[in-house]
A and B are shown apart, each in its own frame.
Chain A
Amino acid sequence: EAQVTQNPRYLITVTGKKLTVTCSQNMNHEYMSWYRQDPGLGLRQIYYSMNVEVTDKGDVPEGYKVSRKEKRNFPLILESPSPNQTSLYFCASSLYSGTTNSPLHFGNGTRLTVT
């Protein structure tokens, strides 16, 4: 089944404890990205990747890192999480980069709480 898989679905951690949220897609998509969803703000892009080894900042990149060593994987790293990073996170992918007609396919989300 074609899908974007994120893990974990739920995560509770403490301030400053490094964590990684994994994301994998099995559709051979070029483009992958991370979003966070906060009430009243919709979804905002954190980082994106146009292809392997090509990543760039989105609208809210502070406090996050990403890497794209393989086409299928795009992990999100929080080196020192803080409470303002408590949010619902989505990984997404699409077949092509540089086109407007390619929908994003989303993972099921990771609900992160930082205390």
Chain B
Amino acid sequence: AQKITQTQPGMFVQEKEAVTLDCTYDTSDQSYGLFWYKQPSSGEMIFLIYQGSYDEQNATEGRYSLNFQKARKSANLVISASQLGDSAMYFCAMREGGNTDKLIFGTGTRLQVFP
């Protein structure tokens, strides 16, 4: 069965430091997409970054990069130069093609950035 695992319930990082949030996935499909979303305390879900299963380069979006290791089935999010506003829940998700287009979510990691 398809599954996303985020093993870090909470993480702390000091402002301006980099932090890595872990995500592993399980799927038997060859074609899939991996996403990271940010959920601040206000509750909305904000799309951060996408990595396709056939992409050879790691995705980057500003301070966010995705460390994609296909053989290990991991898709870790790296946030560089953390800011106080990065404090939030972060969800890793996987989207498979086919009939459901379902996005399967992990349970999330709560990141707290301190001064």
Q: B68 within 8 Å of A by Cβ?
A: no
In contact, A41 and B107 (Cβ under 8 angstroms): yes
CA–CA, A56 and B100, complex, Å:
8
Q: Annotate A25-57 by CB proximity to B: 1 below 8 A, 0 otherwise.
A: 000000101010000111111001010000010
Give the residues in chain A near B10, CB-CB below 8 Å.
none
How many pairs of residues, A versus B, come closer than 8 Å at their CB atoms?
A: 76
Instruction: Of the listed stretches B12-20, B41-49, B72-80, name the one at the interface; the rest are far from the partner chain.
Output: B41-49
For chain A, the count of residues having a C-beta within 8 Å of the partner chain is 32
**Nearest Cβ in chain B — how far from A103, in angstroms?**
5
Instruction: Of the listed stretches A13-21, A66-74, A79-87, A104-112, name the one at the interface; the rest are far from the partner chain.
Output: A104-112
Give the residues in chain B near A114, CB-CB below 8 Å.
none
Give chain B's interface residues, CB within 8 Å of chain A. 4, 31-33, 35, 37, 43-47, 50, 52-53, 91, 93, 95-103, 105-108
Give chain A's interface residues, CB within 8 Å of chain B. 31, 33, 35, 40-45, 48, 50, 56, 58-59, 88, 90, 92, 94, 97-109, 111
